[in-house]
Homo-oligomer: A and B are copies of this chain.
């Protein structure tokens, strides 16, 4: 997938900050606002090194006033700037949601397309390090549910850079979600698969094109973000038992590449949607429904299976968290289940 020339291996955090830095060089209207994005370089290093290169007028630490600075991003974008705003954890969206979804997401539509809002919101998602109910959520489905934001959920460094470039160049608001557990930080366990070769040159990964992360013929596993890495590991486990799993990495939820999902399920006849967001009324339901709507042409061999955080806040205690967030073992088990059940 990576271009052959000039690649090095980068972590996802490095890939993101490289994309931002390159776009800032290319386009003086790009700037970044957020908490601790300056000297600290972002709590999850998405803006590492940028303050030194671009100075405090373009890498702006803000007060803990998310409504004000995210609303300010909307206001500045309407004047032709291209702000990037970091919401430190997605879990904090509740203090600024009105500015996000009633304004940033809707003003373009309400203006009949006459107001352009090229804003990138970026935020950290996910659990796995026991940060409890207010610091471990994914929540991207909530933003995919409400119209007006493009939703980007990379699973690896190559995509992370290319999708960030696309996000910054897009004339629409883009919400970009990076999972802490694949950023490749020196202080948190991460999945090796997320650290990949990344070309030095800027490149764009287009929105709305899912990636086949692993080919297979028996089961389709649909996932995003860190769950893609878990799915690939699970597929390798399952392969030992003779189950051949195809892993689809959606990469973006809005736009959503429904056809890639349908194509794969049409081939395998079995669908597992594995997600780290809440199970109910979210991504897993949407993907299942896309298949349910296509049963005129798709022939399922087994009932659909879904995995997600099942209707509870994320617990703090390690064994509870591990039981709540789908793990590689849960995915393998679900694949086994798919091979042993059949439709009526």
Contact = CB atoms under 8 A, between A and B. Distances in A.
Interface of A: 67, 91-102, 105-106, 109-110, 132-134, 139, 141-142, 144-148, 253-254, 256, 271, 278, 280-289, 291-300, 302-306, 309, 311-313, 315-316, 341-344
Given A148-B313, A254-B311, 20 more contacts: A67-B95, A94-B96, A94-B99, A102-B133, A106-B313, A144-B280, A147-B311, A147-B313, A253-B281, A254-B280, A271-B292, A281-B281, A285-B286, A285-B287, A285-B288, A292-B304, A295-B302, A296-B341, A296-B342, A297-B344
Contacts of A278: 145-147
A94 B97 contact: yes
Q: With a 10 A CB-CB cut-off, give which of A97, A110, A312, A341 has the most chain B CB atoms.
A: A97
Contacts of A102: 91, 94, 133-134
A284 B342 CA distance: 24
A97 B278 CA distance: 17
Contacts of A289: 284-285, 288-289, 292, 304, 306
B295 A304 contact: yes
Contacts of A141: 145, 281
A341 B294 CA distance: 11
Given A109-B313, A282-B281, A344 B295 contact: yes
26 contacts: A67-B95, A93-B98, A94-B96, A94-B102, A95-B97, A106-B134, A106-B313, A109-B313, A110-B132, A142-B145, A142-B281, A145-B145, A145-B282, A256-B280, A281-B281, A281-B283, A281-B286, A284-B289, A285-B289, A288-B289, A289-B306, A293-B303, A293-B306, A295-B343, A296-B341, A296-B343
A179 to B, nearest CB: 18
Contacts of A95: 67, 97-98
Nearest to A255: B311
A175 to B, nearest CB: 13
A24 B299 CA distance: 55
A256 B132 CA distance: 26
Q: With a 10 A CB-CB cut-off, give which of A256, A289, A296, A305 has the most chain B CB atoms.
A: A289
Q: With a 10 A CB-CB cut-off, give which of A146, A283, A309, A342 has the most chain B CB atoms.
A: A146
B281 A145 contact: yes
Nearest to A101: B94
Contacts of A309: 147
A76 B145 CA distance: 32
Nearest to A297: B344
A340 B133 CA distance: 47
Nearest to A143: B281
A281 B285 CA distance: 7
B344 A296 contact: yes
Nearest to A301: B295
